[in-house]
Chains A and B, each alone.
Chain A
Amino acid sequence: MSDKAFVLGCSAIGAGLAMIAGIGPGIGEGYAVGKTIESIARQPEAQGDCTRTMFIGVAMAESTGIYSFVVALILMFANPFIKRLG
C-alpha cells in the first residue's frame, strides 16, 4: 500500500469519526425543543419569546456539530496531511 493511499484512507475514517460529534447537538437540540414546547403549552401567549430564545439556544448547541463537520470537510476536501507527504 502506498503512503498516499494510507493517508487518504485514514483521513476518510477520521472524517467519519469526527461526525460522531453529531450525537451531542442532536440530543441537546431535541431536549431544548421539547422544553420549549412544554413551556408554550403551559403559557401559549409567550410563544414568540420562547421560540426566539429557543432558536438562539439551538444555534449555540449546534456549534459543536458544525465544528466537527468543518473538520470532516477539511479532511475530505482540503486534506492537510497529503501535503506533508511531499
Chain B
Amino acid sequence: MDDIGAGPKVVFEIGSIVITETVVMGWLIVAVVTLLCLWLTRGLKKVPDSKRQVVAEMFVKFVNDMVKKNMGEKLMGYSPYIGALLISAVLGALISMVGLRSMTADINVTAAWALLTFVLITFHKIKANGFVGYLKSFAQPVAFILPLNLISELATPASMAFRLFGNVAGGMVITGLLYGALGTASEALHLHFAFGQWAFSALQVGIPAVLSIYFDLFSGCIQAYIFSMLTMVNVGAAAEE
C-alpha cells in the first residue's frame, strides 16, 4: 500500500548524483529506439519489398504529414524532434505494460520536455518579432494586462508537464489502488488461496489487465500524441506571429 504513490526508486548513486528508476528507463528506451531504428532502416530499397520498410515509411510519413499540417512547410525541420518526442512518450508510457515503472510517471521528465517546448516557443517569438518586439508583446493590447500575459506564458509549459504526468501517474495510482482493493475483496470473499510460500487472490486475475489496457495502452498513446500535438501547435503559432 505504501509504495503506490511513491516516487521512482533510487537505483544507485555516483557521488552526489542520484540515478533513479526513471533515468534507467530512459536509457532502456534510448537503447530500444536505437535498435529499432537500425533494424527498420537496414537495406532500404526504392520499391520496398520488406514489411519493416513499409512500417518505417508509415511512421515517418505520419510524423511528416502531422508536422506539415500543424507547423507549415517552413518548420519541417522539426519533424525529427517531434518524431523522437512521440516515440519516447509512447514507449515511456507503454513500458509499464511489461511491469516496469513508466518513464513519464515522473514530473522531472515531463517538465524537462515542456521546458524544451517553452525554449522553442520563446526562440521563435524572438525570431519573429525581435527581442524588443517580444518584450513589448507582453504589454499588448494594454499595459496593465502584463501580469496576466506573463502567467499565461508560463502556464503553457506547466500545464503540458502536469497533463502528461497526471495522466500516466494517475493511471498507475488507480491501477495500484484497484489491485489492493481486489486483494482485500477476495480475502473477504474467501477467494484468497495460499499454498505455502505462494499465494494468489482470485479477483486479482484478469480485472486489472482490462484497466491496464485503458490506462497504459490507450491513455498513454493519446497523451503522447496530445503532448507532441501541443508542442507543434504552440511552436507553430509562435513562429507565425
Contact = CB atoms under 8 A, between A and B. Distances in A.
Given A73-B169, A77-B5, A77-B6, A66 B163 contact: yes
Nearest to A76: B5
Contacts of B170: 66, 69, 73
A66 B226 contact: no
Give chain B's interface secondary structure class: helix
Given A66-B162, A70-B166, A73-B173, A55 B225 contact: yes
A62 interface: yes
B162 A56 contact: no
B140 interface: no
A67 B159 CA distance: 8
Contacts of B6: 77
A66 B6 CA distance: 18
B166 A66 contact: yes
Interface residues of A, number: 14
Contacts of B169: 73
Interface string B148-173: 00000000000100110111011001
Given A56-B233, A59-B230, A77-B5, A67 B162 contact: yes
Interface of A: 52, 55-56, 59, 62-63, 66-67, 69-70, 73, 76-78
9 contacts: A55-B229, A56-B226, A56-B229, A59-B163, A63-B162, A63-B163, A66-B170, A73-B5, A76-B5
Interface of B: 4-6, 159, 162-163, 165-167, 169-170, 173, 222-223, 225-226, 229-230, 233
Given A63-B162, A70-B166, 14 more contacts: A52-B229, A55-B225, A55-B226, A56-B229, A56-B230, A63-B163, A66-B159, A66-B166, A66-B167, A67-B162, A69-B170, A70-B162, A77-B4, A78-B5
